[in-house]
Amino acid sequence: MKKFLNDPNDFVAEMIEGVHLANPGKFKYVPEFNLLYRSDRPDNSKVSLVQGSGSGHEPAHVMAVGPGMLDAASPGAVFAAPPVDTCLACIEALKSDAGVLVLINNYQGDRMSWDMAIEMAQAQGIKVEKFIIADDVSVPNSTYSIGRRGVAGNFFVIKACGAAAERGASLEELLRIADKVNSQVRSMGVALTSCVPPLKGAQLFDIAEDEMEVGIGIHGEPGRRRDKLKAADAIVDEMFDAIASDLPFKSGDRIAMMVNGLGGTPISELYLLYRRAAQRAQKAGLTVVRNYVGEYCTSLEMAGASLTLLRLDAELEDLLAAPAEIPIRVF
Amino acid sequence: MKKFLNDPNDFVAEMIEGVHLANPGKFKYVPEFNLLYRSDRPDNSKVSLVQGSGSGHEPAHVMAVGPGMLDAASPGAVFAAPPVDTCLACIEALKSDAGVLVLINNYQGDRMSWDMAIEMAQAQGIKVEKFIIADDVSVPNSTYSIGRRGVAGNFFVIKACGAAAERGASLEELLRIADKVNSQVRSMGVALTSCVPPLKGAQLFDIAEDEMEVGIGIHGEPGRRRDKLKAADAIVDEMFDAIASDLPFKSGDRIAMMVNGLGGTPISELYLLYRRAAQRAQKAGLTVVRNYVGEYCTSLEMAGASLTLLRLDAELEDLLAAPAEIPIRVF
């Protein structure tokens, strides 16, 4: 296992501790629940936006907490749903008169934990709703999900809802916006390698030196097929065609486009993929209003990438352009 | 070779094309010379800040072009110095009455190309100077360098000089600032894996499943020693001790601290490393004024990380806090 690691049991806690130490004064950190939240929250006039799924997808979602983004993250262990008491502690800590919105990527474990916690919180009189994100076109159902998986499209739901929440949108408004983003966003990913969960200490799945997994899930779930590794342009073409035909995206659409690295792929290769995706978008008559090339939703150190397209309208363009702060300094 | 790649000969060009396409209107791109520069440059009243070394270190340096950063980048092939005609074309395109400052990481190939190009440009009457960056404490001399290598500390020279140049600093002022940063910055890196240059198509060096290279160079140059992989905290401790004792950094110093990923290491592990580095800094009486956790200077998909400390003063704190724009959107 080639990782920077101390005791594998401490991987998630030490990573969150690092985020906390790197942002003095900005966050409250509750180690007992892996809970990290903005130190200026809760604010009773603002809906609290929270998310908690398995770890191993960083920067999603513990590094997506900040003004204009999430108010709190309460991740579980690597690739494991957070326990119910963690979810409940998160809702209780972030409760607000305006309500709490829980954004959940579509995995059964996450849904079960949050469903139970939400029910318990509502029984206490806390105003809280959930929204399920499912943007992956690769397969209709998957190892850990009934229905499509939630993957990198999650970012756009966070960003749009985070911006609207900062401006004072109500819980009902945020549910409408989340639904709009989710209904207009599509993703697909390809893996070149597997990855090693720290506590497992072994590859999540086997893949040969000349193979790729087309339609990979972010926990290593099988995709559409295992195939021989192809040229980068051919890989982009397959992802682009699968995504564009699904919504479908149409000539004249204004879009946001993301090339997301899965953790082990360098940014040079991501820009090489973006090049082809931009060419394909142009050919299809799509105007790329905003683009995102980097790591947004990863699978530990997996080499691979996903493509995400989001159809925009005036409201979404405005929300995506709103200011946001995250715990990661870039330049 | 598990990469997103078309023809390996096109790797650098297609990557830069991706950066260009992702930033419409912001850059001029001259494919013949791998030259990417700000579309508002040259401006005769401002010193042009340029850099060109081998590719494969992205985001350095082609993704560090923008207001408050570099004015141009002219990278060579992967891990290869740019040819003299590329360097000369870069200087000619960016020439300014205020001058051109070429920032060079200390590798013989880069120095030779730029030295010759600078001499040719000066013979044309172009005002141009160079500055050599050498921040790696790992080894006194290395495979491709006489003297210390230039590694991730490069970022701080770019940022400080980029901010000062934007404010109208003269070429002489910028040389003074570059020298101040370079004399107060120290780095060291550790590799867990090798990497595969696209045209080589094979691992740059062999390393066993349970080994690490302590003091790795960013082109795979050997470091201080090959050792068994240790716990993350022990690795940070060794890097921290080597760096802190070298300047030396002293209790009471205000510093910027960077944990830089080498390309294949996920950001979760980088924050786990940052945690220990922050603890060590605190114990040593160093105040971390600014921190940077992410990828700044990579070696393709190499798993590994480096630590950089920069001693600050009022001038450098001010320059690091100045606004800057880069081609990469984060949120």
| A324 interaction partners in chain B (CB closer than 8 Å) | 331
Q: Which of B290, B219, B223, B295 is nearest to B259 (CA)?
A: B295
pLDDT of residue A166: 97
Residue of B nearest to A11 (CA): B272
Candidate list B26, B38, B41, B57, residue with the active-site label: B57
The verdict on a CB contact (< 8 Å) between B266 and A300 is: yes
B67 vs B323: CA distance, rounded Å? 8
Report the b/e string of A12-45 with b at 16+ CB within 10 A: bbbbbbbbbbbbeebbebbeebbbbbbeebbeee
A231 vs B14: CA distance, rounded Å? 13
Q: Which of B84, B151, B144 is nearest to B114 (CA)?
A: B84
The verdict on a CB contact (< 8 Å) between B58 and A266 is: yes
User: pLDDT per residue over A199-243, tens digit each?
Assistant: 999 999 999 999 999 999 999 999 999 999 999 999 999 999 999
Q: Answer yes or no: is pLDDT of B323 > 90.
A: yes
The verdict on a CB contact (< 8 Å) between A272 and B233 is: no
Nearest-Cα distance to chain A for B3, in Å, is 7
User: pLDDT per residue over A272-284, tens digit each?
Assistant: 999 999 999 999 9
pLDDT of residue B9: 98
Identify the band that residue A326 occupies on the pLDDT scale cut at 50, 70 and 90.
confident
pLDDT of residue A8: 98
Is A72 in the B-facing interface, judged by CB distances under 8 Å?
no
Which residues are CB-contacts of A292 (< 8 A; sequence separation ≥ 6)?
A155, A256, A257, A258, A259, A260, B329
ipTM computed for the complex: 0.97
Residue of A nearest to B4 (CA): A232
Is B14 in the A-facing interface, judged by CB distances under 8 Å?
yes
Q: Please state the rounded mean pLDDT for residues B317-328.
A: 92
pLDDT of residue B330: 59
Q: Answer yes or no: is pLDDT of B87 > 80.
A: yes
Q: Please state the rounded mean pLDDT for residues A265-294.
A: 98
End-to-end CA distance of chain A: 31
pLDDT of residue A1: 81
**What are A163's two structure tokens?**
């911006």
Phi/psi for B276 (5° steps) reads -70, -40
Say if CB B78 and CB B109 are below 8 A apart: no
Q: Please state the rounded mean pLDDT for residues A251-255.
A: 98
Q: Please state the rounded mean pLDDT for residues B153-157.
A: 97
Which of B272, B305, B329 is nearest residue A14 as measured by Cβ atoms? B272
| B268 interaction partners in chain A (CB closer than 8 Å) | 11, 15, 55-56, 58, 300
Identify the band that residue B8 occupies on the pLDDT scale cut at 50, 70 and 90.
very high
The lowest-confidence range among A205-209, A264-268, B90-94, B322-326 is: B322-326
pLDDT of residue A329: 67
B254 vs A250: CA distance, rounded Å? 54
The CATH number for B10-184, chosen from 2.40.390.10, 3.40.50.1820, 3.40.640.10, 3.40.50.10440, is 3.40.50.10440
The verdict on a CB contact (< 8 Å) between A266 and B300 is: yes
A306 vs A152: CA distance, rounded Å? 8
Identify the band that residue B328 occupies on the pLDDT scale cut at 50, 70 and 90.
confident
Residue B30 C-alpha from the chain's centroid: 22
Q: Please state the rounded mean pLDDT for residues A245-254.
A: 98
Report the b/e string of B52-79 with b at 16+ CB within 10 A: bbbbbbbbbbbbbbbbbbbbbbbbbbbb
Tell the burial category of B189 from Cβ atoms under 10 Å away from its Cβ (0-12, 13-18, 19+).
buried
| Domain B185-321, second-level architecture | 2-Layer Sandwich (3.30)
Q: Answer yes or no: is pLDDT of B331 > 70.
A: no
| A2 interaction partners in chain B (CB closer than 8 Å) | 192-193, 209, 229, 303
Say if CB A306 and CB A152 are below 8 A apart: yes
Which of B58, B267, B270 is nearest residue A268 as measured by Cβ atoms? B58
Q: Answer yes or no: is pLDDT of A330 > 70.
A: no
Kind and range of the H or E element at B214?
A: strand B211-214
Q: Answer yes or no: is pLDDT of A47 > 60.
A: yes
Residue B37 C-alpha from the chain's centroid: 17
Delimit the domains of chain B by residue range. Answer: 10-184, 185-321
The verdict on a CB contact (< 8 Å) between A2 and B209 is: yes
A326 vs A318: CA distance, rounded Å? 19
**What are A157's two structure tokens?**
């739901």
**What are A76's two structure tokens?**
């579980």
Q: Please state the rounded mean pLDDT for residues B307-321.
A: 98
B236-240, long-range: CB within 8 Å, 24+ apart, which pairs?
A: B236/B273, B236/B276, B236/B277, B236/B280, B236/B307, B237/B276, B237/B280, B238/B190, B238/B214, B239/B188, B239/B189, B239/B190, B239/B277, B239/B306, B239/B307, B240/B276, B240/B277, B240/B280, B240/B281, B240/B307
Q: Answer yes or no: is pLDDT of B329 > 90.
A: no
pLDDT of residue A107: 97
User: pLDDT per residue over A52-93, tens digit each?
Assistant: 999 999 999 999 999 999 999 999 999 999 999 999 999 999
Nearest-Cα distance to chain A for B18, in Å, is 4
Q: Answer yes or no: is pLDDT of B227 > 70.
A: yes
Nearest-Cα distance to chain B for A113, in Å, is 24
Which residues are CB-contacts of B40 (< 8 A; sequence separation ≥ 6)?
none
What is the SS3 assignment for B182? helix
Helix (H), strand (E), coil (C) string for chain A: CCCCCCCHHHHHHHHHHHHHHCCCCCEEEEHHHCEEEECCCCCCCCCEEEECCCECCCCCCCCCECCCCECEECCCCECCCCCHHHHHHHHHHHCCCCCEEEEEECCHHHHHHHHHHHHHHHHCCCCEEEEEECCECCCCCECCECCCCCCCCHHHHHHHHHHHHHCCCCHHHHHHHHHHHHHHEEEEEEECCCCCCCCCCCCCCCCCCCEEEECCCCCCCCCCEEEECCCHHHHHHHHHHHHHCCCCCCCCCEEEEEEEECECCCHHHHHHHHHHHHHHHHHCCCEEEEEEEECCCCCCCECEEEEEEEECCHHHHHHHCCCCCCCCCCC
Residue A250 C-alpha from the chain's centroid: 25
The region, left, alpha or beta by phi > 0 then psi within -120 to 50, assigned to residue B14 is: alpha
- B128-133 β-sheet, strand order: B27-30, B35-38, B72-73, B48-51, B100-105, B128-133
Indicate if B20 belongs to the active site. no
CA angle, A166 then A170 then A175, to 5°:
100
A154 vs A149: CA distance, rounded Å? 10
Residue of A nearest to B229 (CA): A2
Indicate if B61 belongs to the active site. no
Identify the band that residue A328 occupies on the pLDDT scale cut at 50, 70 and 90.
confident
Q: Please state the rounded mean pLDDT for residues B38-46.
A: 95
B186 vs B240: CA distance, rounded Å? 10
Nearest-Cα distance to chain A for B169, in Å, is 20
Nearest-Cα distance to chain A for B245, in Å, is 23
